[in-house]
């Protein structure tokens, strides 16, 4: 397979088999027409790039029904507030900075910048509508040349372009970077946060791999990619979001200095084989072990005639359930807070999604925590419930 960013080779090392759209929660009458694709993962040595072989078309994934709302997690709302303070501090000498966010979702981040010239670009209609309700200047579009043309014509340059959990969703990174360079001023910042390859390796959280995450970046890969475009990765800041993410700070000036923290992270990536193929092979073995362990755990609970439910119908759970062949025969239902998901079924494995309000009443004793990245927030909410066997594929 080919590297998606340059023409060098990329070697497939992990095959998950047939997968549906991770966020494709469906109605019963849609079961027969469900779309599946082969989820294969490869690694490109030259750019240290971890990527999917194929992905469904973005229109299949980010349509009017896209059910991910940033504001559904208090932790995420607070995270974006802190992130906005970080941006404001960086621009303390230029309070009138112009900001654009790629994939601005329901406006949770941008609503902190109402006094600034701000633009949000969001392709999913459902979340875009919420951004408008939040009084955020949101455009219901994909971030591409057609969308930014009006800014180029008006000679508007942004001081900072931001993206959170979206850059790894974009298949054509070359087009993305070329478009960014057209509207980012010299010395301007491109700052983005994405699930971090190093955290995924450490936790063996292979459920980070699904159709939307076309790339799983590391600091080494970002450094190499952006240097090709005359931009410099100047800093990287680890984040707790999404089970371990990295904030990358890329400056539109190749001659910029890099931080001590980034130097350490790059060194650590070498040490832990995050920048090379050895890390991939180790990870693959761990993933296979994790599958075996999880199946044994589920089958053992079922052999005692006990019931299991899920908590949090996450997009990530689609990879675990389909890869481990766990379905509605093993798990009765998944409780979730998202109105769009409630009453539907999980992609590929057809487990009913129920309103989280029913969780207490139903009294399940074995609970698969699919939303493990929100564990603290969830345990705080459910702390009154005793004697529950909470588990996930991570333990």
We find the least distance from the C-beta atom of residue 315 to ligand TMP, in angstroms, to be: 5
79 or 316: CB nearest ligand TMP:
316
Rg (the chain; Cα; Å)? 21
- Residue 203 within binding range of ligand TMP, rule CB under 6 A: no
We find the least distance from the C-beta atom of residue 318 to ligand TMP, in angstroms, to be: 10
Among positions 51, 336, 348, 369, the unique one binding ligand TMP when judged by CB under 6 A: 336
167 or 313: CB nearest ligand TMP:
313
Give the whole-angstrom CA distance, residue 218 versus residue 270: 11
Give the whole-angstrom CA distance, residue 182 versus residue 284: 39
Nearest to 52 by CA among 143, 164, 171: 171
- Residue 356 within binding range of ligand TMP, rule CB under 6 A: yes
Q: Which two tokens stand for residue 307?
A: 């019931």
- Residue 346 within binding range of ligand TMP, rule CB under 6 A: no
We find the least distance from the C-beta atom of residue 319 to ligand TMP, in angstroms, to be: 12
Give the whole-angstrom CA distance, residue 131 versus residue 122: 9
How would you classify the pairing of strands 138-139 and 215-216? unpaired
87 or 354: CB nearest ligand TMP:
354
122 or 336: CB nearest ligand TMP:
336
4 or 344: CB nearest ligand TMP:
344
We find the least distance from the C-beta atom of residue 208 to ligand TMP, in angstroms, to be: 10
* Contact indicator for 331, 310 with CB cutoff of 8 Å: yes
Stretch that binds ligand TMP, among 57-65, 192-200, 301-309, 366-374 (CB under 6 A): 366-374
We find the least distance from the C-beta atom of residue 378 to ligand TMP, in angstroms, to be: 5
Nearest to 269 by CA among 213, 371, 196, 342: 196
We find the least distance from the C-beta atom of residue 354 to ligand TMP, in angstroms, to be: 10
- Residue 378 within binding range of ligand TMP, rule CB under 6 A: yes
Stretch that binds ligand TMP, among 78-86, 127-135, 188-196, 375-383 (CB under 6 A): 375-383
Buried residues in 130-166 as b, exposed as e (16+ CB within 10 A): bbeebebbbbbebbeeebbeebeeeeeebbbbbbbbb
We find the least distance from the C-beta atom of residue 341 to ligand TMP, in angstroms, to be: 6
280 or 313: CB nearest ligand TMP:
313
Rounded alpha-carbon distances, angstroms, from residue 328 to 163, 291, 296, 354: 36, 18, 17, 13
25 or 158: CB nearest ligand TMP:
25
Angle at 290 between CA 284 and CA 291, to 5 degrees: 95
| Three-state secondary-structure class, residue 164 | strand
Q: Which two tokens stand for residue 202?
A: 């450490």
Among positions 172, 202, 286, 377, the unique one binding ligand TMP when judged by CB under 6 A: 377
Q: How many residues bind ligand TMP (CB under 6 A)?
A: 19
Footprint (CB under 6 A) of ligand TMP, residues 34-73: 68, 72-73
213 or 247: CB nearest ligand TMP:
213
Footprint (CB under 6 A) of ligand TMP, residues 303-332: 312-316
Nearest to 82 by CA among 299, 241, 288: 241
* Contact indicator for 36, 18 with CB cutoff of 8 Å: yes
Distance spanning both ends of the chain, measured CA to CA: 33
Give the whole-angstrom CA distance, residue 377 versus residue 258: 35
- Residue 221 within binding range of ligand TMP, rule CB under 6 A: no
Among positions 134, 253, 337, 355, the unique one binding ligand TMP when judged by CB under 6 A: 337
47 or 342: CB nearest ligand TMP:
342
We find the least distance from the C-beta atom of residue 198 to ligand TMP, in angstroms, to be: 19
Measured from the Cβ of residue 191, the count of other Cβ atoms closer than 10 Å reads: 22
Residue ranges binding ligand TMP (CB under 6 A): 68, 72-73, 312-316, 336-338, 341, 356, 371, 373-374, 377-378, 381
């Amino acid at each position: 397979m080919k590297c998606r960013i340059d023409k060098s080779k990329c070697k497939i090392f992990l095959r998950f088999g047939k997968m549906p759209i991770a966020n494709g929660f469906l109605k019963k009458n849609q079961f027969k027409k469900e779309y599946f694709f082969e989820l294969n993962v490869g690694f490109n040595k030259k750019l240290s790039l971890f990527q999917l072989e194929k992905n469904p078309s973005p229109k299949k994934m980010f349509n009017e029904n896209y059910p991910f709302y940033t504001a559904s997690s208090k932790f995420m709302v607070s995270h974006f507030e802190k992130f906005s303070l970080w941006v404001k501090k960086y621009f303390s000498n230029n309070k009138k900075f112009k900001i654009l966010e790629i994939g601005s979702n329901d406006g949770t981040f941008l609503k902190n910048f109402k006094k600034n010239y701000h633009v949000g670009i969001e392709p999913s209609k459902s979340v875009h509508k919420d951004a408008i309700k939040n009084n955020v200047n949101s455009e219901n579009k994909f971030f591409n040349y057609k969308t930014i043309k009006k800014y180029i014509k008006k000679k508007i340059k942004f001081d900072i372009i931001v993206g959170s959990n979206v850059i790894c969703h974009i298949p054509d990174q070359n087009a993305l970077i070329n478009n960014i360079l057209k509207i980012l001023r010299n010395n301007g910042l491109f700052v983005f946060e994405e699930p971090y390859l190093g955290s995924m390796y450490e936790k063996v959280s292979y459920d980070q791999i699904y159709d939307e995450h076309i790339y799983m970046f590391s600091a080494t890969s970002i450094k190499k990619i952006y240097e090709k475009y005359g931009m410099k990765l100047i800093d990287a800041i680890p984040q707790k979001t999404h089970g371990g993410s990295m904030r990358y700070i890329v400056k539109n000036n190749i001659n910029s200095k890099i931080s001590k923290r980034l130097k350490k992270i790059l060194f650590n990536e070498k040490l832990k084989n995050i920048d090379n193929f050895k890390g991939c092979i180790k990870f693959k073995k761990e993933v296979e072990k994790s599958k075996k362990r999880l199946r044994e755990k589920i089958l053992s609970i079922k052999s005692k005639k006990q019931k299991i439910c899920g908590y949090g119908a996450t997009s990530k759970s689609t990879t675990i359930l389909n890869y481990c062949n766990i379905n509605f025969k093993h798990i009765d239902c998944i409780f979730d807070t998202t109105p769009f998901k409630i009453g539907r079924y999980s992609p590929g494995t057809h487990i009913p999604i129920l309103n989280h309000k029913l969780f207490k009443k139903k009294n399940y004793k074995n609970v698969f925590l699919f939303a493990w990245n929100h564990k603290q927030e969830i345990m705080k909410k459910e702390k009154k419930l005793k004697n529950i066997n909470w588990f996930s594929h991570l333990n």
